[in-house]
Amino acid sequence: MLELNHKGRYPMKQTMKTLSKHHLGPGMSWVDKPIPQIKANEVLVKVLSASICGTDVHIYTWDAWAQNRIQQPHTMGHELSGRIVELGKDVNGFNVGDIVTTETHIVCHTCEFCLSHQAHICAHTKVIGVDIDGVFAEYVALPATNLIQCDPTMDHDLLSVQEPLGNAVHTVMAGDIKNKTVAVLGVGPIGILAVDVAKAMGASKVIAVDVNAYRLDLALKIGADAAIHSFNENADDRIKALVGPYGVDVVLEMSGNGQALKQALGYLKPGGRMSILGIPTQEVSLDIGQDIVFKGITIQGITGRRMYETWDQIKILLNEQRLHLDQIVTHRFDWADYEEAFKLMESGNCGKVVLKIGK
């Protein structure tokens, strides 16, 4: 347990362990840093569990995106569950001991987007674990406005995946989904979550499309109606055989694969919806006339989570126990074994992977 001083709130020790990127190149290292001093509007959270995101893998492997975005030294991670151990003097609505997770986009609350209830596209967003120090640490200071209260009886490891679950919820629920046929293109961890959410929200048929056999099998285990390995069979032909000659009502694009996206426009029904969360690494050439205009489809870009509508939707799904997070979190590691955890993430033979940090 955390040692407290005579006021009963403040950590006695001055430094904490972190997993940080402090060099150019692959990997990360243990770095001792001061325990954050919180501002009046912040809380200090003791991190319990932190799940690994694809963004963390980009930083860990030090790919081109990370090289252009990340400054060192930099504490990684942004998906967490934790316990509040200190409150800033202006914080209301929370108590020491509360179990929380966090919205990872820190926004300005004053730009035109924030003021029009579109804070998820705030012009001044800073991302925890990307632009500022993250949660692969014993403690993290967070704005109280970013905190989401959690059910203290729920598994802390499962609570840590709510942020990526929010990406999936935002993507699935950006339009009508009940009784719709749905193709989830790319069933990495967020795509798997999207399969789960689409089924929970009443989609009539959910088809998983990917090239990773492990994840396609996981999609079937949590309720996908069909799985298509697009290296082994033609996705367009198989989908139309499953749902009819016009294709699916909804495509949820989670892969970031430009060629797969172009093909998906062919099996998206006229008048249908494509919601795109995946980010292609190169420009994608599209036949806008034939595939978009004349088909009368809707294409949406999805970023982050709607603040805080998406979080309310997550809470309902969790309270009603409509998801399979216990199966989607496939691996759990003590954070001392982070190298093994990241190696597994790079292999793709996993769902969500969680680092256990505190108690």
Q: Which residue numbers are catalytic?
A: 55, 58
Tokens of 290: 């034939």
CA angle, residues 131, 2, 335, in degrees to nearest 5: 50
CB 20 within 8 A of CB 29: yes
**CA–CA dist 180, 204 (Å, integer):** 5
Distance separating alpha carbons of residues 16 and 33, to the nearest angstrom = 6
Residues 6+ apart with CB under 8 A from 323: 165, 196, 197, 200, 317
Do 78 and 55 form a contact (C-beta atoms < 8 A)?
yes
**Measured between alpha carbons, how far is 307 from 146 in angstroms, rounded to an integer?**
9
Beta strands in 2-88 (DSSP E): 15-21, 29-34, 42-51, 74-75, 79-87
